[in-house]
Amino acid sequence: MKIPAPVSKRIALYHRCVATLLSEGKSTTSSQELGERLVLKPSQIRKDLSYFGEFGKRGTGYDLKDLRLSLENVLKINKTWNVCIVGAGNIGTALANHKEFLKEGYKIIAFFDRNTSKIGKKIGEKGILVYPMSELEDKVRLLKIEIGVIAVPASEARNVSEMLVKVGIKGILNFAPTKLKLTDAEIEDVDIAVSFKTLTFKMGVREIERNRSNCKENN
């Protein structure tokens, strides 16, 4: 079945919300409660979940533990994913130091960089090794790496993405400000510069509205 793109995004949010509710000591929830927390319509949540099965009980709602497990299966985080980061810079280091990702099933186990001064160094608190690009293929096989994070400048991103696909990587998290056009891997973009610009765009729109309503007040 074809899953609408917005649904894929929201499923991850549901999973997090369910985990939060569990950590608060709750044992059941409803589409109503999830909707309040995530600012979504209950009917949308029920519809989204229905793409993947029937997880609730009519009259009583959802068992949180069951739902969390079901969502983990849907999101494929019922296993640990080994992740490499190409580009041993600031973003890569920040990711490596972030404990949350490991907890959620994403284990960063290798860096790759073409800068010889970085090769052999250990990155971050966990001391993750930086390998040369020439070892990409070997290490991906040896360490069973399935996900590649692209944290290099835009100019190198396309090249790196092709190298990753060539060695069998099937999923790429792309921090570079470049549209990658690959057919053999799934790509998810994290584009901070675009987020900044979207933010100031929306601030501009709101400012205009504020001015308009002020104007009306004065009439």
- Span near a copy of itself by CB under 8 A; candidates 56-64, 88-96, 137-145, 159-167: 88-96
Q: Which of 6, 120, 153, 177 binds DNA (CB under 7 A)?
A: 6
What residues numbered 42-61 form the site for DNA, per CB under 7 A?
Answer: 42-44, 46-47, 49-50, 54-61
Dist CA 200 CA 206 (whole Å): 10
Strands (E), the chain: 28-29, 56-57, 61-63, 81-86, 106-113, 122-123, 128-132, 147-150, 171-174, 186-189
Interaction partner, residue 188 (DNA, a copy of itself, none; CB < 5-8 Å by kind)? a copy of itself
Interaction partner, residue 217 (DNA, a copy of itself, none; CB < 5-8 Å by kind)? none
| Nearer CB in complex with a copy of itself: 134/159 | 159
Q: Hey, which residues does 61 pair with through a beta bridge?
A: 57
Binding mask 171-200 for DNA (x = CB under 7 A): ------------------------------
Q: How far is CA 20 from CA 34, 44, 95, in A?
A: 11, 20, 22
Q: Is 69 in the site for a copy of itself (CB under 8 A)?
A: no
Q: Is 107 in the site for a copy of itself (CB under 8 A)?
A: no
149 in Cβ contact with 173 (< 8 Å): yes
158 in Cβ contact with 86 (< 8 Å): no
Q: Is 102 in the site for a copy of itself (CB under 8 A)?
A: no
Q: Which of 150, 89, 149, 99 is nearest to 121 (CA)?
A: 89
111 in Cβ contact with 129 (< 8 Å): yes
Q: Is 41 in the site for DNA (CB under 7 A)?
A: yes
Residues near a copy of itself (CB under 8 A): 3, 8-9, 11-13, 15-16, 37-39, 74-77, 81, 89-91, 93-95, 97-98, 100-101, 104-106, 146-147, 170-173, 177, 179, 181, 186-190, 192-207
